[in-house]
Structure 1
Amino acid sequence: MSDTRRRPRHVGAKLLLLILVCYFLVPVWWLVVASTKNAEGLFAGDGALWFSGFHLADNLRHLITINNGEYLRWLGNSLLYASAGGIGCTIVSVLAGYGFAKFDFRGRNIVFAMVLGSVMVPLTALVIPTFVMMSNAGLTDTIWAVILPSLLSPFAVYLMRVYAAASVPDELLDAARIDGAGELRTFVRVALPLMRPGVVTVLLLSVVSTWNNYFLPLTMLSSSKLYPLTVGLGLWTQLASSNNGGGESLWNLIITGSLVSIVPLVIAFLTLQKYWQSGLAAGSVK
């Protein structure tokens, strides 16, 4: 009797899950299909969700050659910002989170409360003050205007603090200190391997956040040579909307460029998935 009652509930849950999967995958499917069409096929109005001619190779060739390889320059900038900002943010967050979790110093709770409270502040609200700071330091319209603000993430510090407290036993650290290991060696040889899933999780989230950042580089940069993909594709969208620089012929390049821009993120997720999943599940059974 109980199995009979549970069966409709399971069917409903699976049906809801299927609907949600379709809801999230349909835009991705449309992006893939639209990237294979030329300008005429893109605006034909029929078969929007299915292939009608395969021009992906032509679109990619045009994409990497337009304006003397402008798209490739933007792609390289995005890779630079995401790697430098993501790795730097991970290092800062790991060190800060470990310090908050394993060291007892005066004002620790107050400082951590300030860090935790800053999570509630929208990032867009900090862009203008950050711009003023960078302008006073003479760093606007440079790569540092994008990289330096990306190094700080209150949420990543909070995540690493919680993860370090849950995954690194104090008894293990005390044993390493009794054996004569210094604080740096204890952190590198004992704590850091135990924190690896959390470190990879923060790295992945930081890279994705920096890669998808639009408002910060839009505000900080004025030279198109320093634009990341987000701002560069936005510039093309403005040109296409105003019918300057190609009109319809530019839209299929924007769509193809959007498809290419998500490939590095997909590769990163697939590569680091096992570490990411284990990092999210840490402490769930304690």
Structure 2
Amino acid sequence: MVAIAPEREGRTPARRASRASGSSGAARRNPRQRRSIVLTIVMVIFTIYSIVPLVWLIVNATKTQPELFSSFGLWFGNGFSLFQNIADTLTYRNGIFLQWFGNTLLYVVVGAGGATLLATVAGYGLAKYNFPGKRAVFAIVLGAIAVPGTALAVPTFLMFSQVGLTNTPWAVILPSLVSPFGLYLVWTYASEAIPTELLEAARMDGAGEFRTFFTISLRLLAPGIVTVLLFAIVATWNNYFLPLIMLSDPQWYPLTVGLGQWSAQAIGVGAQPIYNLVITGSLLTIVPIVIAFLFLQRFWQSGLSAGSVKQ
């Protein structure tokens, strides 16, 4: 008994110390767990806030005109009229919706594609070449990012009206080619994604600047280019104010301005029963954007240059 007692007495402080350290560790973890719970709740709220309008749009696109005002907005009506609404939307006013859809594709392909190309070439040049006035160009680009596009819409309209470009597709395409944010994004991405040692090795092997850019740099810039392209596509596809003031002929309207015109006709004095067409057209408008994101997201891969340069 005398030999065992000191051993038990020796174990008791150790157990007490381990329990104390465990309780202190739990106390240290509690604030993190509380922050995690709060952040989870905030994310759930933002997710619901983002999904509810989309659910409302999908649900109401399946309703007829009378059911839109006689049933609950977040639940389906008595019937399922989605396909009939789509057919009515595509054939209303001799298929003007398809004309607007084609115009929007034209503005996106030429405008957003051109903006991505120019931003890629300019951003790569600014990132990998030194020339006089580089800091001034950097300041101008940052200043252009800070200026909202709506502030330049009226001056652009006055300038284009002087040369007779208003009410033409060029009035929408030419301003879309300028993307200061895309240029800055490619600039910063190229500075880190393309090792200078890799370019120097290509030059030592006899590769010219154009060959180096198209065979090496362009592949390493793929994630940045896709990011700029998606930003340009979304900005051009959702562009509303610029074509609104530049275009007066409905034949050149994009989807945003055309659906806005339908919405004005469906609400107010002398309203026409086309509110279901406005909702269905809005649903059809977001489908290409979703497809673009699903198709281009596979190009979002990081670490493409890993292992290209020996350390």
TM over 0.5: same fold? yes
Match of 1:207 in 2: 233
The one of 269, 272, 283 aligned to 1:259: 283
Match of 1:88 in 2: 114
Match of 2:297 in 1: 273
Q: What is the letter of the counterpart of residue 277 of structure 2?
A: L
The one of 90, 102, 115 aligned to 1:76: 102
Q: What is the letter of the counterpart of residue 62 of structure 2?
A: T
TM-superposed CA distance for 1:182, in Å, is 1.2
5+ residue gaps, structure 1, are none
Q: Choose between structure 1 and 2 for higher RCO, CA contacts under 8 A separated by at least 6 residues.
A: 1
The one of 139, 147, 153 aligned to 1:121: 147
Where does 1:168-179 land on structure 2 (aligned, <5 Å)? 168-179=194-205
Q: What secondary structure sits across from 2:146 in the alignment?
A: coil
TM-superposed CA distance for 1:278, in Å, is 4.3
Deviations 1:188-241 (A, max 9, x none): 111111001001110111011000000111111110000000000111111112
TM-superposed CA distance for 1:276, in Å, is 4.0
d(CA) in 2 for partners of 1:262 and 1:276? Answer: 21
Could you tell me whether the CA contact under 8 Å between 1:92 and 1:151 is conserved in 2?
Answer: yes
* Percent of pairs with identical residues: 52
Where does 1:72-221 land on structure 2 (aligned, <5 Å)? 72-221=98-247
TM-superposed CA distance for 1:243, in Å, is 4.1
Deviations 1:93-142 (A, max 9, x none): 00110111011111011012111111111100111111122222221111
Q: What secondary structure sits across from 1:139 in the alignment?
A: coil
d(CA) in 2 for partners of 1:157 and 1:8? Answer: 41
d(CA) in 1 for partners of 2:98 and 2:147? Answer: 34
Q: What secondary structure sits across from 1:43 in the alignment?
A: helix
What TM-score, normalized to structure 1? 0.92
Relative distance call for 1:278 and 1:222 in structure 2 (3 A) is farther
CA RMSD of aligned residues (A): 1.7
Could you tell me whether the CA contact under 8 Å between 1:139 and 1:145 is conserved in 2?
Answer: yes
Could you tell me whether the CA contact under 8 Å between 1:37 and 1:54 is conserved in 2?
Answer: yes
Q: What is the letter of the counterpart of residue 291 of structure 2?
A: I
Could you tell me whether the CA contact under 8 Å between 1:201 and 1:275 is conserved in 2?
Answer: no
d(CA) in 2 for partners of 1:116 and 1:276? Answer: 25
Q: What secondary structure sits across from 1:160 in the alignment?
A: helix
The one of 245, 249, 272 aligned to 1:223: 249
Match of 1:17 in 2: 43
Q: What is the letter of the counterpart of residue 183 of structure 2?
A: V
TM-superposed CA distance for 1:154, in Å, is 0.5
Match of 2:274 in 1: 250
Q: What is the letter of the counterpart of residue 143 of structure 1?
A: P
Number of aligned residues = 277
Where does 1:44-83 land on structure 2 (aligned, <5 Å)? 44=70, 46-52=71-77, 53-83=79-109
TM-superposed CA distance for 1:80, in Å, is 1.1
Moved more, 263-272 or 134-143: 134-143
Could you tell me whether the CA contact under 8 Å between 1:217 and 1:231 is conserved in 2?
Answer: yes
5+ residue gaps, structure 2, are 1-22, 307-311
Q: What is the letter of the counterpart of residue 85 of structure 2?
A: N
Q: What secondary structure sits across from 2:114 in the alignment?
A: helix
